[in-house]
Amino acid sequence: MRLRVLGCSGGIGGPQLRTTSLLLDEDVLIDAGTGVGDLSLDQLARIDHVFVTHSHLDHVTSIPFLVDTVGGMRSSPLTVHATRATLDILRAHLFNWALWPDFTQIPSADAPYLRYSEIELARTVRLGDRQITPLPASHTVPAVGYRLDSGRASLVFTGDTGPCDALWNEVNRITNLRYLIIETAFPNAERKLADMSQHLCPDTLASELSKLEREAEIHITHLKPGECDAIMHEVAACAGRWKPGMLSNGQVFEF
């Protein structure tokens, strides 16, 4: 498996600030934030699957443009994988003919450009030799993280989450864990906002990492623009032996 970071920021503002989107091999997106827009037309047309962590705009904003742009170039629908709760939100509030056309009906219901596939926690989706498993997360809307397993090694992406014991219960069962990408959106000075919005700050990150019983290379994502240096300074001070690095656009993981 090869995972390339297209976007990992908590906001926008310049070429290095793209919201969450990860490209798995050439045909799978994990979330579809603004980073998807940097792909070429040919690269966009190769994407067959989008696995969504949750419905917030910074994670789904490129799905409407993606399907509108390349739907007619494809021989099969783009498949959006998400929990039932998230799919219900996308149907009601995004692909609803008011905010954006319903591409599950275009050009016809029998041959649409877009289809939905419901996922469930702990139920693995297999795409050839690749295994993608939804993991628990705790956020202000229904949310999941994902385990990406090549067979040789696994990468865990938490998506947006606050403290979540259920997540670590699952992660600690992964015997081939190699990488952990975990969010830390706010500095400690904004912990009240982090708690209210169910994100992590460095202090709560440290508390969560204390629950991790596996060895892993850890990368921090979803930092708020303008606060990255402050957040990472605090992460370094409180994360103990883990020594997390800051995720960056263009970073590649092979596993």
DSSP letter for each residue of 48-69:
-EEE-S---HHHHTHHHHHHHH
pLDDT in tens, 105-134: 999 999 999 999 999 999 999 999 999 999
Q: Are the CB atoms for 125 and 148 separated by under 8 Å?
A: no
Domain that holds residue 203: 2-254
pLDDT at 174: 98
Residue type, 74: R
Indicate whether 180 pLDDT > 90.
yes
Average pLDDT over residues 75-100: 98
Q: Which residues sit opposite 220 in a β-bridge?
A: 182, 246
Going by pLDDT thresholds of 50, 70 and 90, the confidence category of residue 177 is very high
Quote the number of domains for the chain: 1
pLDDT in tens, 8-40: 999 999 888 999 999 999 999 999 999 999 999
Domain CATH for 64:
3.60.15.10
pLDDT at 235: 98
How far is CA 142 from each of CA 52, 54, 120, 217, rounded to the nearest angstrom?
A: 11, 6, 12, 27
pLDDT in tens, 195-230: 999 999 999 999 999 999 999 999 999 999 999 999
